[in-house]
Amino acid sequence: MKKNKVLIINGPNLHLLGKREVNIYGKMSLKELEKAIRKEAKKYNLNVDLFQSNSEGEIVNKITSGKKWDILIINPAAYTHTSIAIRDAILGVSIPTIEVHLSNIYSRESFRKKSLISDIAIGVIAGFGPRSYILALEAAKFYLHAKKDK
């Protein structure tokens, strides 16, 4: 059976996971998180492409590179709240998108309550720490399956 391709993007400062504000983001490093994602993706028979960048332009370049993915799971990190460029890139290639956050952005500072991605996403998963990504993979599988049956 053909594997669906999932692009998973982590935005700025997420390379610091495990060291950065551990009271909010937890102790798991990005490497450990990526390992857990790969393991879970295998279960769901999904092919994952993992990408982290601190640069808005690199994230835009990745999304618009011309490579075809069936779905995008993205934690745009601080760019969630500022990046029209990432929003436009997602719209530009019409890729179904799931927005993910480790923390519940709606229970934090008011500037984090506004996302420029949420309204163009299929859905948003926030507040479950590293498990947010695992839930997003499940959501991706569910979405791709439902699409196939249409």
Give the Cα separation of 116 and 36 in Å (integer). 28
The CB-of-102 to ligand DQA minimum distance in angstroms stands at: 4
59 dihedral zone (left: phi>0; alpha: psi -120 to 50; beta)? alpha
The CB-of-104 to ligand DQA minimum distance in angstroms stands at: 8
Candidates 1-9, 26-34, 76-84, 134-142 — which segment interacts with ligand DQA by CB under 6 A?
76-84
Given 44, 79, 101, 133, the catalytic residue: 101
CB-nearer residue toward ligand DQA: 47 or 103: 103
Q: Considering the rule CB under 6 A, would residue 7 count as an interface residue with ligand DQA?
A: no
Nearest alpha carbon to residue 102 among 4, 6, 21: 21
Neighbours of 69 (CB within 10 A): 20
Q: Considering the rule CB under 6 A, would residue 4 count as an interface residue with ligand DQA?
A: no
Amino acid sitting at position 97: T
44 is catalytic: no
Given 25, 44, 79, 133, the catalytic residue: 25
Q: Where are the beta strands (DSSP E) in the chain?
A: 4-10, 46-52, 71-75, 97-101, 123-126
Nearest alpha carbon to residue 33 among 19, 21, 18: 18
The mark string for 87-106 relative to ligand DQA (x by CB under 6 A, - otherwise) is: --------------xxx-x-
What is residue 149's three-state secondary structure? coil
Candidates 43-51, 62-70, 73-81, 140-148 — which segment interacts with ligand DQA by CB under 6 A?
73-81
Query: Which residues contribute to the site for ligand DQA (CB under 6 A)?
Result: 13, 75, 77-78, 80, 101-103, 105, 112
Catalytic residues: 25, 101
